[in-house]
Amino acid sequence: MVNPATHFQQIRQHIRDELAAVIDFDAVCITTIDPATLLSTGSYTDEPIEEIHDQLFQNEFLKRDVHQHEILAKGPNHAASLIQSGAYLNSERYQHILLPNGWSDELRAALVIQGECWGIASLYRQKGKEPFQKRDIQAVIDLTPALAAKLRDELFKKRDTEDDDAAEQQGFLILSTHYKLLYGNETGLHWLRTFQAFEQIHDKAVMPRPFRALGAKLLYGGTDQTTASITRMPTGVFLSLQAFRLAQADRQEEAVMIHVKRAQTNDILPYAAKTYRLTEREMNVLDCLLKGQSTKDIASTLYISPHTVHDHVKAMLQKTNLSSRRMLVYFFSNI
């Protein structure tokens, strides 16, 4: 049986290889994205960029800079290079992080398919090499829908979920504004160690990217008191991660609490809908099916004909490659 962490590294390597087949670069960072919140759910990074990854991370969330993930994800242009766009002249990321560390250009691409972003690919060239050209950017743009589909489909690929007693418990972690662990209950510490293992983080003081992304969004993204995301562990378990801003007490710095728990079916369904391209009406029918309603009941609830209900069910069966209504209900009740 393939180690789950190794499996995800292989996926990252495969995406890297596909990019390398159409464009020359010296290092790459593949960041998986929660399409609902556009927050990082993990990052797979070549070693040279890993050395400056924390600086890049802080630039992404704590600064306003060019070609940031959310801007590229929402388009209309899903890919851009610092040199070609001329943005390097006004980019703190370029002037203070990339250039001093020997990188001459960065090409970022949002991995978008059907309007949903599932990842960000960041490609780098070293000093002394030609910056990325328009043909390079176009080559990446042509490839990104297939890469986005790969990440999307991998998220919901049917896997035998490994038993994990911690998945049935509530995990809590309290972090400082510098992402230092202040407190964690047993389950929270279990998930911290698990995320670190899957991201191959060897320094136990370093927080996994999903935790840092939630904390940064909460502390520096505005006035929100909570923020959340859904992530799937390589073992197959879907987790709900929620961050809460903790009030500042006398002579105590502000802190963030991360709540980790197993995601419920209702939490996961919106992501499944994006993966299988279900329409809003098909999702309405599916919701009724999961509640045990008959065709007649669904027609009455949604003010449509029984024939239309059958059409929607047939469409969902085709999209999910399932053969019966019973299998459809079972599948979406057990993702």
pLDDT in tens, 246-290: 876 666 678 899 999 988 888 888 877 877 888 999 999 999 999
- What's the rounded Cα separation, in Å, for the pair 240 and 271? 12
Place of tokens 């230092």: 180
Provide the pLDDT for residue 1.
46
- What's the rounded Cα separation, in Å, for the pair 90 and 242? 34
Q: Where are the domains of the chain?
A: 4-155, 165-265, 276-333
Contact of 100 with 107, CB cutoff 8 Å? no
Strand partners, 228: 242
* Two tokens, residue 95: 């002037």
pLDDT in tens, 37-81: 788 877 778 888 988 988 888 888 777 899 999 899 998 899 999
- CA atoms within a 13 Å half-sphere pointing along the CA-CB vector of 1: 9
* Domain topology for 276-333: Arc Repressor Mutant, subunit A (1.10.10)
Rg of the chain (C-alpha set) = 21
CA max distance for the chain: 69
Burial 244-254 (b: 16+ CB within 10 A, else e): bbbeeeeeeee
Contact of 182 with 252, CB cutoff 8 Å? no
Give the helix/strand (H/E) hosting 245. Answer: strand 238-246
What is the architecture, at CATH level 2, of domain 165-265? 2-Layer Sandwich (3.30)
Question: DSSP per residue over 106-133, as a string?
Answer: EEEEEEEETTEEEEEEEEEEETTSPPPP
* pLDDT greater than 90 at residue 301: yes
Contact of 271 with 156, CB cutoff 8 Å? yes
What is the architecture, at CATH level 2, of domain 4-155? 2-Layer Sandwich (3.30)
Same fold, 4-155 and 165-265: yes
* pLDDT greater than 50 at residue 8: yes
- pTM for the complete prediction? 0.73
